[in-house]
Structure 1
């Protein structure tokens, strides 16, 4: 019985993504807000929910690097830079890579780069796999509020009708570490 509810919940969230809606889902540390990165409409809905300026850019989270490859200019990284990045995945390390020229500005913001992560969270991996593409990933919280760590906190901030993929976070205390792939410099500790 419980498994059926979870499967229905998963399908509801997957359908919402396919309809270019925003959902919340558990990640390694907190719940994230996500949407179809190829839909400007969906991304603008997400940014409006967060009260986030489009020029700040966003993170894409994926099941595998092949889902991220169309968005980033991997050829601009040296062998060592690629090895360092791939050694951290799947896992809670987000890397900032040069973006491909065709990567939409609604993802990169004012930058010529894009933040990307290959997750090891099983629910997010399944969601990206079933969708066939990465998700936009930003912490699930209203401006000035703490990021949500469970579905009840998401409902409290976004309303009881908000589509939430029910599940546990990966148990990490801090959001993902962010590093610059070109320099190796840490932008945000994890």
Structure 2
């Protein structure tokens, strides 16, 4: 593309109107702007401009059958994108509890939503982000913003403006630099067009929290726990992050699932690859790093007792994997309760193999 990519520094807590206006004008003109949300940096375009939306797929190298999430700044804006008013009461109930925040609700799409946004489906995912910069940007534009993660497709998602610059400089018009993201994994995606609602992608809102509001256990799509095998056919998907391998560094990752004796299993897998003459690195919890006591390049994910911290730093750590300069990285799985489900969803999709 060869674009000159601007960087606009803004106050992440109280972005000034004038600070955001250059980015707003780019969006209004059909351009692409990366901006911070509480989950990851998003790559935004005017959701109602099909040509602008098409440029998202081009910039990211994103498959055309992977739908986009649309970000809104109010429930009224969300209503304008819904094609079935019967879904409003449930959206309202969940929005009161979790919006603004890291929850995407899949609803029946209104006719005005471009098919490029929905990947030709009759549904669309809607989310109201809580990051002050994201909300202010959408409010000033006065239109919904379609925004997947602001990275090249397949690699770890960006949680800082530096990550966006590494991936998309010269391919988009600008980056609104508003600091690092707090949650670190993308939003939870819940399909409310079906009864009971179906969790399509785990994220910043846990199944347990959703169950408290819904008054019943959440049904979790099987691909939310583990990706489909390459041989398994999978049809159209209503959420990003379900169909393709994602989040993968260039260095192969071997994932050792959590369970009894997994520290010794980590040691065995490391030893087996060292016996083959491979340079091995580790991506493990603080506790396992101490227990293993191996003199290897190591990325510590954080303590097991703080899965939210592991989630926050997960993509930064996955991006750091390639800086270890090793042949293979042995990664540790964690318990998939709470936000651990989102962490394990990403690790399983990033891994070349699970052992």
TM surpasses 0.5: yes
| 1:26, distance to aligned residue in structure 2 (A) | 0.5
- Secondary structure of the residue that 1:96 maps to in structure 2? strand
1:146 pairs with 2:156 = yes
Asked if the contact 1:85–1:181 (Cα under 8 Å) also holds between the matched residues in 2, the reply is: no
**1:106: how far off?**
1.2
Question: In 2 relative to 1, CA 135–105 (structure 1 residues): closer, same or farther, beyond 3 Å?
Answer: same
Aligned counterpart for 2:188 among listed residues 158, 171, 177: 177
SS of residue paired to 1:186: strand
> By how many angstroms is 1:170 displaced?
4.0
Q: Out of 113, 116, 133, which is 2:126 matched to? A: 116
1:86-105 superposed matches below 5 A: 86-105=96-115
Pair member with larger Rg = 2
CA gap 1:80/1:61 in 2 versus in 1, 3 angstroms = closer
Counterparts of 1:2-17 in structure 2, within 5 Å, are 6=10, 9-17=19-27
Aligned to 1:40: 50
Q: Deviation at 1:101?
A: 3.0
Q: Which has the higher contact order (CA 8 A, sep 6+)?
A: 1
C-alpha offsets along residues 82-102 of structure 1, whole Å, 9 cap, x if unaligned?
423442211110010011234
CA distance in 1, matches of 2:90, 2:62: 34
- 1:129 maps to 139
Which range is displaced more, 158-167 or 133-142?
Answer: 158-167
Separation in structure 1 between the aligned mates of residue 128 and residue 38 of structure 2, nearest angstrom: 11
Q: Paired residue for 1:55?
A: 65
Segments of 5+ residues of structure 1 without an aligned counterpart are: none
Conserved? CA contact 1:99–1:112, under 8 Å: yes
> Hey, what does 1:189 align to over in structure 2?
202
Check the 8 A contact 2:48/2:112 in 1, yes or no: no
Q: Determine helix, strand or coil for the equivalent of 1:57.
A: coil
Q: 2:152 and 2:97 mapped to 1: Cα distance?
A: 33
CA contact (8 A) 1:56 1:110 kept: no
Conserved 8 A contact 1:12-1:163: no
* Residues 1:163 and 2:174 aligned together: yes
- Judged with a 3 Å threshold, the aligned counterparts in structure 2 of structure 1 residues 84 and 154 are, in CA distance, closer, same or farther, namely closer
Other-structure match for 1:23: 33
RMSD (Å), alpha carbons:
2.1
Comparing 172-181 and 154-163, the one that deviates more: 154-163
The 1:76–1:156 alpha-carbon spacing in structure 2 relative to 1, beyond 3 Å, is: same
Cα distance, 1:71 vs structure 2: 1.5
Where do residues 50-89 of structure 1 align in structure 2 (5 Å cutoff)?
Answer: 50-77=60-87, 79-80=89-90, 82-89=92-99
Point out the more displaced range, 31-40 or 62-71: 62-71
**SS of 1:94's equivalent?**
strand
Does the Cα contact within 8 Å between 2:9 and 2:176 map onto a contact in 1? no
Deviation track 1:145-174 (CA, whole Å, cap 9, x = no partner) reads 111111111111112674001102441031
